[in-house]
């Protein structure tokens, strides 16, 4: 037999207790937030980052290998967004998965507006992904000029992220065209972007904390309140000590930073590694350059797996791009012939879209 429920004599005390706990928790959270060094915005941008798909390295896309016949020009209504694989169904607003769509535009005001006008549905996301490609050579908020031309071959993946296959930017300020072609170099774990002559587009830190990552998703110069460099990388990627160091702290401000490590390099520079999944060194440990000290994760204020790497000298935040040597890699010689065939295919695709404008 079911007993009737007792009158809730304890309820007021329970409520007071819950209220007290909630106030205390809020105070802790607010305190933690004040110290956030990798604010949420840094990570919120990551879902639009170029995504490594299951596509094999260098495999030609059907849309690229077999472009639509030239006698089927894109109609005027979609002149700015020509989809070679879909010329027969130009009214479809969303591109078919697996096909590269080409979007081109001429800059009148901002990059965002250029892409919005070229493609109202995908323009904002495209502008974000596109601007990350060329952040190494230009500040696209400042350095774009009226009349600059943007071209990009892209597709949206099943998970909603955008992948760029090829992009060009004709810059009046630089007086030349920047190019970026997606390619997974032999021996690399992820595709990257390469200029047509085989030099990598993104710079890499020499003796940085990660051997391999998908993409740099945030630089110091991107936003004023973000104090580090963010690397998109799967959970569990080994993090190496860039220099000989002593471990000075771990897991402080956990709500914001998640599992984290702080090192003091021999020159006195403080290095912070945030959002880790596992710490493999602990306060007091001496570590040597190249030693694995942790695994990357998605802990604390982080909405996508990444490593936040931050450097400080005294009160000053130091840009890892200034502190480390940087390099632009060259494609392995053995990749060049296949890469350049791919470049030619993408260039034909971009040129076709330009011709139909």
Binding site for Zn ion (CB under 5 A): 38, 42, 228, 230, 308
SS3 of 187, please?
A: coil
| CB neighbour list of residue 144: distance below 8 Å, 6 or more residues apart | 107, 110, 111, 138, 171, 173
Smallest distance, Zn ion to C-beta of residue 304, A: 11
Smallest distance, Zn ion to C-beta of residue 275, A: 8
Residues 177-202: b if buried by 16+ CB within 10 A, e if exposed: ebbbbbbbbeebebbbbbbbebebbb
CA 204/CA 136 separation, integer angstroms: 11
Measured from the CB atom, is 38 or 129 closer to Zn ion? 38
Smallest distance, Zn ion to C-beta of residue 159, A: 22
Measured from the CB atom, is 78 or 216 closer to Zn ion? 216
**Closest residue to Zn ion: CB criterion:** 38
| CB neighbour list of residue 31: distance below 8 Å, 6 or more residues apart | none
Strand blocks (E) in the chain: 81-82, 101-106, 149-156, 162-171, 176-183, 192-194, 204-205, 215-218, 229-232, 238-240, 245-250, 259-265, 270-279, 286-287, 292-296, 306-313, 316-318, 326-327
Smallest distance, Zn ion to C-beta of residue 130, A: 21
Measured from the CB atom, is 154 or 273 closer to Zn ion? 273
Measured from the CB atom, is 44 or 341 closer to Zn ion? 44
Measured from the CB atom, is 79 or 128 closer to Zn ion? 128
Q: Which of 304, 315, 238 is nearest to 46 (CA)?
A: 304
Smallest distance, Zn ion to C-beta of residue 335, A: 32
Smallest distance, Zn ion to C-beta of residue 158, A: 27
Measured from the CB atom, is 230 or 335 closer to Zn ion? 230
Is residue 224 within 8 Å of residue 4, measured between CB atoms?
no
Smallest distance, Zn ion to C-beta of residue 164, A: 22
Measured from the CB atom, is 84 or 300 closer to Zn ion? 300
Smallest distance, Zn ion to C-beta of residue 263, A: 17
Measured from the CB atom, is 23 or 44 closer to Zn ion? 44
How much of the chain is in helix, strand and coil states, percent to nearest 5? 25, 25, 45
Residues 96-117: b if buried by 16+ CB within 10 A, e if exposed: eeebbbbbbbebeeebbebbbe
């Amino acid at each position: 037999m079911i007993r009737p429920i007792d009158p809730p004599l304890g309820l007021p005390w329970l409520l007071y207790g819950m209220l007290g706990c909630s106030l205390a928790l809020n105070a802790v959270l607010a305190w933690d937030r004040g110290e956030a060094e990798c604010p949420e915005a840094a990570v919120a941008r990551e879902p639009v980052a170029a995504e490594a798909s299951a596509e094999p390295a260098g495999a030609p896309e059907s849309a690229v290998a077999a472009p639509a016949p030239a006698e089927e020009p894109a109609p005027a209504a979609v002149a700015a967004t020509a989809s070679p694989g879909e010329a027969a169904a130009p009214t479809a607003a969303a591109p078919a998965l697996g096909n590269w769509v080409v979007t081109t535009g001429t800059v009148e005001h901002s990059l965002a507006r250029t892409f919005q006008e070229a493609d109202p549905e995908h323009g904002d996301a495209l502008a974000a992904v596109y601007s990350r490609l060329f952040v190494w050579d230009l500040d696209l908020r400042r350095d774009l000029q009226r009349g600059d031309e943007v071209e990009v071959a892209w597709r949206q993946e099943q998970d909603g992220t955008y992948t760029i296959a090829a992009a060009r930017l004709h810059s009046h300020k630089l007086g030349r065209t920047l190019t970026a072609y997606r390619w997974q170099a032999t021996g690399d774990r992820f595709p990257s972007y390469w200029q047509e002559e085989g030099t990598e587009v993104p710079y890499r830190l020499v003796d940085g904390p990660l051997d391999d990552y998908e993409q740099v998703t945030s630089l110091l110069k991107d936003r004023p309140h973000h104090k580090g460099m963010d690397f998109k990388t799967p959970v569990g990627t080994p993090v190496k000590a860039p220099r000989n160091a002593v471990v000075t702290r771990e897991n402080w401000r956990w709500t914001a930073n998640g599992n984290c490590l702080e090192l003091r390099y021999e020159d006195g520079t403080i290095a912070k590694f945030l959002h880790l999944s596992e710490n493999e060194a602990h306060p007091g440990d001496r570590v040597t350059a190249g030693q694995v000290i942790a695994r990357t994760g998605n802990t604390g204020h982080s909405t996508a797996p990444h490593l936040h790497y931050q450097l400080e000298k005294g009160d000053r935040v130091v840009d890892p791009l200034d502190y480390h040597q940087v390099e632009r890699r060259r494609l392995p010689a053995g990749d060049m012939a296949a890469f350049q065939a791919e470049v030619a295919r993408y260039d034909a695709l971009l040129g076709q879209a330009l011709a139909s404008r």
